[in-house]
Structure 1
Amino acid sequence: MGEFDGLTAVVTGGASGIGLAAARRLAASGASVGVLDRSVDDAPSDLYAVRCDVTDSDGVTAAVDAVAQRFGGLDIVVNNAGIGAAGTVEDNDDDEWHRVYDVNVVGMVRVTRAALPHLRKSQHAAVVNVCSIAATTGLPQRALYSATKGAVLSLTQAMAADHLPDGVRVNAVNPGTADTPWVARLLDAAPDPAAERAALEARQPTGRLVPPEDIAAAIAYLAGPSAGSVTGTTIAVDGGMQALRLRR
C-alpha cells in the first residue's frame, strides 16, 4: 500500500526536470498523476499528460477538470511550471517583467483557482508550490526571477491562511540550483559551460547541484497525508546554500 493510494495529483511543468521527478515520485507511491505542460510529446506514457499553458486561464481550467474527471477527483496540486530570467533591474523591459510574472506567479494562481472546487471535496487536499532559493537569498543577475519567487513565497503563506478552513494545506519547497535540463541549457549557453557549472556547484555547500529527485522527495512529503499538520511552511532543498557558511 502506497501513501498516495486513491489520491490524484496534478503536476504543472511535469514533463521534465523537477516536475517530472515529482510526478514519478507521486506515481510510484500510488497516486494517479496528471501532468500539465506546454509540450507533452516526451511525457512518460504511464502518466496522464494534458497539454496546458498556465498563462491561458480557460485552458488551465479545462486541463485541471480533465484530470479530475479522468480519475474521479483531485487531491494534490504541485505548482511547478515556471520560466527563468537573467539580468539586473536594468536588463529586462516591461514586457519581459509581465511575461515572467504571468507564468511564475499568476500561473500558480490560475491552476490553484481551477483546482480549489475539487480540492475542497478531498479529505487530503494539498498544494505544493515550487519556489526557489532566489526568494530568500540575493543572487546576482536574477532580479526579475528573484522577484517572482519572492512573490511565490508570500503567496504560499497567504494561500495557506486563506484555505485552511477549506481543509487545503499549502506549502512550498525552495530548491537550490537543480541539475535539470533547464539549467543544462543555461550552462550550454555560457562562454565556458564547464567553468560555469563548477561555479554553480561551488556556491552550494554540498559541492553539487541539487538532484531533482531530492526536491521531489520534499514535494511528496508536503503533499502527503503524513504531513497533515504541516501548512504555511517552506522546505529548503538547496544543499545548505541558505543556512550554512562553511570555511573552505
Structure 2
Amino acid sequence: MLSGVIVVAAAQPEPPPEHTFALWAVAILSVLLCSALFLLFIALTKSSWSSQGDNLRSIARERAEKSCDTVLSVCTFAITATLGLITWLNDKVGPGAYLLPLIAALLYFFILLAFTIHLRFNFFWRREEAFLVSSDHNARFAYWLTTATSAIVLGLVLLAVPVLELGLGWLRLKPPAPLDLPPIKVEVTCPPPPVVAPPPPPPPCKPVKHHHRPKPICACKK
C-alpha cells in the first residue's frame, strides 16, 4: 500500500500597485487651493457690502435666526458624515494622505459651527426685530454669510477628494486578513497494484515411440 502526505497552503495575493506620490500631491494641492479660496472670499466680504447710509440693507431677525438654524443642521450632519468617513476609511484603507482633505473639511465645519452658535445665541439676542448691515455696521453678519457659503461648499469639495480617489482606484481597500490556520495535510492512500498470477508451466514432453513392423519374408528367398 502506497501512502503520502500533501501539504496545501493558501496562496497570498499580490499587493496592488500604490499611487503614494499622486495621493499626497492631490491631498496637499486640494487643501491649499480650498484654503486660498476661503481666505480670498473672506477678504472680499467687506468690499461687497456698501458702507453708505442710504444703501444699508435691513435684515429681519426672524429670517436671520432661521438661516442660522438651517446652517446648524447642515453643520451637524456634515461633521457626523466626515467623522464617519474618516473612521470607515481608516478601518478599510489605513492611515494615509486622504486624511489631509478630510481634516481640513472637518475644521471648516467646526469653524462655521462655532461662528453660527455665537451669532445665534449672542448677536441676535441683542438686536431688535430688524437690523442694518453694511461693511462698517453689523459686519459680523456679513462675514457669517461668507463663512457659511464658503465653508459648506469647500468642505464638500474636500470630502469628495478621497471618494474620487477611491472610485479611480488610486485609494485601494485593504485585502481581508488571512485566517491564521495551519497548513492542511491531506493523506493520500493508493491501493496496491493487482497481483497477476504466473502462467502455468507447459506440460512435459513425452517421447514418441516408433513401432517397427517386421518386414515380411518372401518364400522364394531362402
| TM-score bracket for the superposition, by shorter chain length | under 0.3
TM-score (norm: length of structure 2): 0.24
Larger radius of gyration: 2
Higher relative contact order (CA 8 A, sep 6+): 2
Greater percentage in strand = 1
TM-score (norm: length of structure 1): 0.22
Greater percentage in helix = 2
